[in-house]
Amino acid sequence: MLPTNKIMQKLTICLMMAVFACTTAMGQTTQPLQPTWWFGVSGAANFNFYDGSTQRLDNSLFVPTVFHKAKGIKPYGSLLVEYRPGRIWGFMLNVAYDARGAKFDGVEAPCNCPATLQTDIDYVAIEPSLRLGFKSNNLFFFAGPRVAFDVNRRYFYTQLKQPNTSGDLSAIKSTQLSGQVGVGYDIMLSSAAATTKVSLSPFVSYHPYFGQEPRSIETLNITTFRAGVALKFGAVHKAAVVVVPPPVVVPVVAAVAVHDFVFTVHGPSGPMVKNQVSETLPLLNTVFFDEGSAQIPSRYVVLTSDQASAFRENQLQNQESESMSSRSAGQLIVYHNVLNILGDRMRANPGATITLDGSSAKGPQEARASAEAVKLYLVNVFGISASRIVVHGSFKAVPSSGQPGGKTDLALFADENRRVDIETTSPELIAEVGGGMMRPVQLTETQMAPAEVVLNVDSAKLLLKSWSVDVTDSKGTVQHFGPFMSDQQGIPQSAILGNSPDGDYTLVMTGETNTGTSVTKGTSIHLVHPDLSVQKGFRYSVVFDFDRFKTVAEYKNFLTTVVAPLIVEGATVTIHGHTDITGSVDYNQKLSESRAQDAQKILVAAIANSGRDHVTFATSGMGEDPTHAPFDNALPEGRFYNRTVIIDIAPVKQ
């Protein structure tokens, strides 16, 4: 029979090979951006195996029989830090409490008296290691030295017919220098979009006997196998995409500088007006659930029975917003009332019925529990009869997010597919826009676009000490703004216009480089005072399933019969396509353009059939650009709403 330590050695090697094989089988995966620095803690079990001989315990006790073999399981705990400048090479450091105690196999003294010996040999260890990872998966190997400082050296000796004895082992080395080699795997607990990353990392390591002779006498040596888990935290920041309009550069003074700075200015594209937009907001027929929970998430608005009795859908219809971000925040408030809107509609239409289809990768039981939570809310809070609600649970949502066999954005898709879909054939609930969604919510929004002049100086933060701008109107009046330190700076349009008339303004940027050289650049802009009269218009949105660009027949009917009749002769129709952040940037750009163009073709055909031909279309795809995205991509509902085409019918002055 093989010795126990040999068996453990073979098991450790087999485990390393199995982990490597499993992670290789996962295929090539595009990994999200990872932190450079990680901090955390680890805990493990040391499987200690003694070999050699031990007979002298201390200066006064020399036991009659030699002890040879021992084994024991002792704790290990550490504070850790990791530095990973890339996915392959890195550095690890553990500062640990490292227990190496064991219990010897029993022996018999010459008097035929059984004897036992147990040790508690503990260290504070410093373990720097070189880390070797892989681009395609989260497997990593590590190896490095171990420097250990003795903090405990107790022994416990028993012998029949003799008193039990304990004390400190003599001749214990105060410092040990040895080594280790191991393997681990980082299991990401945080989502791909999170900026704070959390990793749970199981690991095993092998500490061979050389360098692990704890005493300067006799031949005792220790071999250790360690198995444990580390919890690590790191921070990463996703860079924002800044879209700068095409520059119009008018040099005023040809400055001699190391870098040819570009100074650009852009402001509102036309007169600022206050728009009153009647918007048809598609209402997602989906409630998303948190991982491991069948409770309705806290971001959804949950009412008491008394509050529900007073709730009416039309209470959510009027909004006032100053920007796209505040508009989307207001619309998410409407969506997060989806269960209350559903309850109000079912209460008003007692013949309407629904089916709640739960889905979860953990199985139909968890999926059905989520659907039951939605049903219970409608029954208990809104008084809807349970017989009007059918509940199902399944592994896979239909339609589901993600491509079969896909390797990227898996965490985001898992969040999207862990949900309850609300299905119905009742005309009082079904959407007129098509796509199987619930009937949309009608919103009336009053919007005033921001009036700001944005100044851009490329590389200013890196190469300039500071920069300022002088603005001159047509009468020669000069205003000074600055100093500024960043690449981009906004100035309220009202601060420039004041009581001055509409017209052209000259802007001269003056800066000083880090080397003391003066830089001067200039350009001009046309500014007009805002028109505070209210203009009315219409906005419609079409929301697409994951990765689809064709406007299906039911959307075509909606665009032809509902949207197209509102486009009057001479109107301007703006169509913007958007996507979420899953997939590549290039693919999402093309997908958004395809969606927008498809919607335009349907509207052009419908308008031509009605005899209107003096309509201007401005159609473009925005891709996943976060500066233009209607909604934040952090939540699954935000990503669903970003898979959209937004159609604005230009306001007509009253």
Q: So what's the pLDDT on residue 111? A: 86
**491 vs 474: CA distance, rounded Å:** 19
CA distance readout (Å), 231 to 145, 181, 189, 199, 309: 22, 19, 10, 6, 47
Fold equal for 4-235 and 263-269+452-529: no
Residue 85's φ and ψ, nearest 5 degrees, are -70, -20
DSSP classification of residue 31: P
Element (H, E) at 346: helix 338-348
- Residues 263-304 have pLDDT tens digits of 998 876 555 556 666 777 788 889 999 999 999 999 999 999
CATH number of 288-301+336-430: 3.30.1330.60
Residue 131: partners with Cβ closer than 8 Å, 6 or more residues away: 82, 84, 89, 90, 91, 92, 140, 141, 142
Element (H, E) at 591: helix 585-609
**547 vs 591: CA distance, rounded Å:** 8
pTM of the model: 0.48
CA distance readout (Å), 154 to 102, 148, 367, 395: 11, 17, 55, 56
Mean pLDDT over residues 341-346, rounded? 91
Residue 541, both tokens: 């949105």
Contact by Cβ (8 Å): 172, 121: yes
- Residues 72-116 have pLDDT tens digits of 999 999 999 999 998 899 999 999 999 999 999 999 988 889 999
Q: So what's the pLDDT on residue 381? A: 94
Mean pLDDT over residues 452-466, rounded? 88
How long, in residues, is the chain?
Answer: 654
Pairing of strands 644-653, 531-543: antiparallel
Degrees to nearest 5, angle at CA 323 with 318 and 328 = 60
Q: State the pLDDT confidence band at 480, using cuts at 50, 70 and 90.
A: very high
The string of DSSP letters for 121-187 reads: EEEEEEEEEEEEE-SSSSEEEEEEEEEEEEEEEEEEEEETTEEEEEEEPSSB-SEEEEEEEEEEE-E
CATH number of 263-269+452-529: 2.60.40.1220
Mean pLDDT over residues 533-539, rounded? 73
Mean pLDDT over residues 210-228, rounded? 94
Spatial strand order of the sheet with 503-513 comes to: 478-484, 464-472, 503-513, 518-527
- Residues 33-79 have pLDDT tens digits of 689 999 999 999 999 999 999 999 998 888 999 999 999 999 999 99
Contact by Cβ (8 Å): 440, 512: no
**Averaged confidence pLDDT in the chain:** 84
**77 vs 95: CA distance, rounded Å:** 8
Side chain identity at residue 54, one-letter code = T
Residue 306: partners with Cβ closer than 8 Å, 6 or more residues away: none
For 76, counting Cβ atoms within 10 Å of its Cβ (0-12 exposed, 13-18 middle, 19+ buried), the class is buried
Residue 248, both tokens: 């119009």
pLDDT cut 70: percent of the chain above it? 83
Side chain identity at residue 468, one-letter code = S
Q: Give the residue extent of every domain in the chain.
A: 4-235, 263-269+452-529, 288-301+336-430
Closest CA relative to residue 102, chosen from 80, 117, 114: 117
CATH match of 4-235 with 2.40.50: no
Element (H, E) at 375: helix 364-382
Element (H, E) at 343: helix 338-348
Q: State the pLDDT confidence band at 14, using cuts at 50, 70 and 90.
A: low
Identify whether 427 is preceded by a cis peptide bond (ω within 30 of 0): no
